[in-house]
Chain A
Amino acid sequence: MSERLLGLLAEFDDAEQLRGAVLRARHECYADIEAYSPYPVDGLTEAMGVHHAHVPFWMLLGAIGGGGFTYWLEWYSAAVNYPINIGGRPTFSWPAFLPPALEMTLLWAVLLGVLAVLVGNRLPRVHHPLFAVRAFDRASSDRFFLLLHASDPNFEPRRTQEFLRTLSPLSISEVME
C-alpha cells in the first residue's frame, strides 16, 4: 500500500454544520470538495456549486430513443419487411402501434437513468480509500463528512488541518490512498 495522502476528512454532527463547512471551504478557495451525508441534504449541492447532473438529459434521450426505435421497428416489420394485406386494411396501423412504443419509452428512460446514476457516480466501485477510515463507517448512519482533496492546488496539509479545526468538527482524519 502506498501511503499517499488523498485528503483530510472532517466529521460533523449535523447537516447544517456540514453545509456551513462547505461554504467556508469554498470561501477559502478549496475547489476539490466532497461532502458526505447519510441522507440527501437540501441545498448541499448548491453550497458546493454543483448544479448539473445530466441524469434528466440521459433519461430524455432514453425515452426518445427507446420509444422511437420501437415505433420504427413496428412500422418496418409490419409495413416494409412483411406487409400482410388483410381485406385492404392499412399495414401501418399507427394507433395500435402506440402501446408498445409507450412502454419502451418509459422503460428506456429508466434504463438510461440507472446508467447515468451509476456512471456519473463512478459506481460500482466496491472499494474506496474512505472505507479504510474508521469514523467513516458512520457516514451512512448519522454523521456528516467533509473531504478536502490533497490534489487541490490550495491544499497544504498543515494549513488545511488548521482550517478544518476552525470549523469545530468532531474529528479530523487523514485519508490514505
Chain B
Amino acid sequence: MSAVIPSDALPPVIEPGQNSHTITTEISAVTLQRPTGWLWIFGLLISLALSGLLFVGICWLLYAGVGIWGLNIPVAWSFAIANYVWWIAIGMGGTFISAGMYLARQPWRNSINRFAEAMTVFAVSVSGIFPILHLGRPWFFYWLFPYPDVMNVWPQWRSSLEWDFWAILAYLIVSILYWYIGMLPDLATLRDRAPTLAKARFYGLLALGWRGEARHWMRFEQFNLITAGIAVALVFSVHSMVALDFSEGLVPGWHETIFPPFFIAGALFSGFAMVLVLGIPLRRFFGLQAFLNDRHIVNMAKMMLCAGLFVDYSYFSEIFTAFYSMDRYDLAMTLHRLYGAYAWAFWGTILFNVLNIQLLWFARVRRSHAAVFLISIGVLIGMWLERFLLIVSSLYEDFVPSAWGMFWPTFWDLAFLAGSVGLFFLMFLLFARLLPVLSMFELRKLAHQSGSGAVERGGEP
C-alpha cells in the first residue's frame, strides 16, 4: 500500500492475503479439526443444566397449569410474554444483518451473517415456546390453525394474537430455510474436507449433494436475493404484529400507534446487541481474528447505537404524548411508571438503554471489544426490563383502583427465563461446534473481488 494509512483507520473487512484456500482451511478447521475446548464443554454443561431446568418446568407446567407462574388478575401477562417478545426481538437483528445488509451490499456483513442467522433461528425457536405455554391449555395450541374440525370452529382472524401465530410460523420457517439453503455450499465444503467417513456422511447428507455448478449458483443466488427481500419484509411485519398484540388492547400504555415502529427499533437494538455478545467471544475463542476484526465490531456498535437512539426517542415520545394528550389514565400510567412500584424497572431501562449506549459515541469505546461486549450485555438486560415494564406497569394499576395488584415472580418464572437462555446457548454452542460458523463461499467471493484474481493464485499482492 502506497497511501499513508492513519493509525486509527479500521482494518479491511478480511485480512489482506486471505484467499479461497486460506479461508476454506481456516474456517472449516474450526468445525473439523479444532479440538473441543474445556471452555466449550463447560458452557455446554451449564446450558444443558439450564435447559434441563426448563424441561422440568415445562413438565410441571403441563401438569399443574400456568398458576406455577406468578401471574394472576390484574397482571395476567408477565414474564412469559416478556420473554417471548425479548427473544423474538433478538432474532430480528440476525435477519436484518443477513438480509437487509445483503440488499444494501455491505461487504463486512459476510463475516457475520451465518452466526447471526443461526442466532435468529435459535432465538425464534426459544421465543415460540412461551406463547404456546401461556395459552393455559398448551395441548390445544393447534386450534389457532384453521383446519376442518368436527366442532366447526374457526380461528378469530381479527385478533392480533391470531396474526401473531401466523407471523411466528412464517418467520420461523423462513428463517430456518434461509439459513439452511444458504449453508448448503459450506456444508458441501465440509463434506469434501471431512477427515473421517462418518463426518463425510454426516455433512454429505446435510449438503444434499451440492456441487457448485454454475446453474446451481444461479438458482441459489436468485433465491437468496428474493428471500432477502422477503426476510426484510418479514422482520418489519412480524415485529409489528408483536407490537399489535399490545396496541390492539385498550390498556393505557399499550394502546399507542407508535408501537410497531418502536418495537422494530427495539428488536434491531437487542438483536445487534446479541450478535455482539456472541460474535466477540466467537472471534476470540475460535481464532477468527482474520475475518472478524475491529471493523465489524465498530460497525455493529454504530448500528446498535443508531437503533438505540430510535428506541430512546420512542421513550421520550411516549412520555411526551401522555402529557400532551392530558388523558388522565395515560398520565396516571406514565407517572406510575416513573414513580410507582416498578419504577426500578423504568430507571433500569433508562440506565441500560439510554445512558449506557451513549458511551458508543466515543471511538475508543467502540474499538474496545471488552467495553462493547459489556455495553451489549447491558442492552440485553435493558431490553428485557423494558419488555417487563411495558407489560406489568400497564396492568398492575389499571382503570379501577379496587382492582390494583402487584406481580411477584415465582421460582418458576425465573427458572423459565434462565432455562430459555440455557436452551438458546445450548443450541448455539452445538451450532458453533458442528456447522460452519462463517459463510465460507461469501468470504471467498469477497476475497476474490477485493484481490481481483492475484489473491486466488498464491496470495502475492
A binds B: yes
Interface residues of A, Cβ cutoff 8 Å to B: 13-16, 34-41, 44-45, 48, 50, 53, 55-56, 59, 70, 73-74, 77-78, 81-82, 93, 96-97, 99-100, 102-104, 106-107, 109-111, 113-114, 116-118, 120-121, 123-128, 130, 136-142
Contact of B213 among A35, A77, A106 (CB under 8 A): A35
Do A114 and B177 have beta carbons less than 8 Å apart?
A: yes
Do A99 and B214 have beta carbons less than 8 Å apart?
A: no
Known: A15-B453, A141-B21. A56 touches B157 (CB 8 A): no
Do B209 and A124 have beta carbons less than 8 Å apart?
A: yes
Number of A-B pairs whose CB atoms are under 8 Å? 196
Do A38 and B441 have beta carbons less than 8 Å apart?
A: yes
A12 nearest CB neighbor, chain B only: B456
Contact of B20 among A36, A114, A141 (CB under 8 A): A141
A18 nearest CB neighbor, chain B only: B214
Known: A16-B453, A38-B24, A55-B222. A103 touches B169 (CB 8 A): yes
A141 CA to B209 CA in the complex, in Å? Answer: 15
Do B219 and A53 have beta carbons less than 8 Å apart?
A: yes
B339 within 8 Å of A (CB atoms): no
Contact of B146 among A39, A73, A114, A120 (CB under 8 A): A73
Do A38 and B453 have beta carbons less than 8 Å apart?
A: no
> What 9 new A-B contacts, CB under 8 Å, besides A73-B146, A110-B177?
A40-B218, A56-B222, A77-B157, A99-B244, A103-B166, A103-B167, A127-B209, A139-B192, A142-B456
Do B189 and A140 have beta carbons less than 8 Å apart?
A: yes
Do B173 and A100 have beta carbons less than 8 Å apart?
A: no
A127 CA to B442 CA in the complex, in Å? Answer: 25
Subset of 21 A-B contacts with CB under 8 Å? A13-B457, A36-B212, A39-B212, A39-B445, A41-B214, A45-B215, A53-B215, A53-B219, A55-B226, A70-B166, A77-B154, A81-B154, A103-B166, A103-B234, A117-B219, A121-B219, A136-B192, A140-B24, A140-B185, A142-B20, A142-B24
A124 CA to B216 CA in the complex, in Å? Answer: 12
A38 CA to B212 CA in the complex, in Å? Answer: 6
Interface residues of B in 412-461 (CB under 8 A from A): 441-442, 444-445, 448, 453, 456-457
Known: A40-B445, A141-B24. A109 touches B226 (CB 8 A): yes
Residues of A within 8 A of B154 (CB): 77-78, 81-82
Do A15 and B448 have beta carbons less than 8 Å apart?
A: yes
B223 within 8 Å of A (CB atoms): yes
Known: A48-B214, A100-B166, A103-B167. A38 touches B219 (CB 8 A): no
Do A82 and B152 have beta carbons less than 8 Å apart?
A: yes
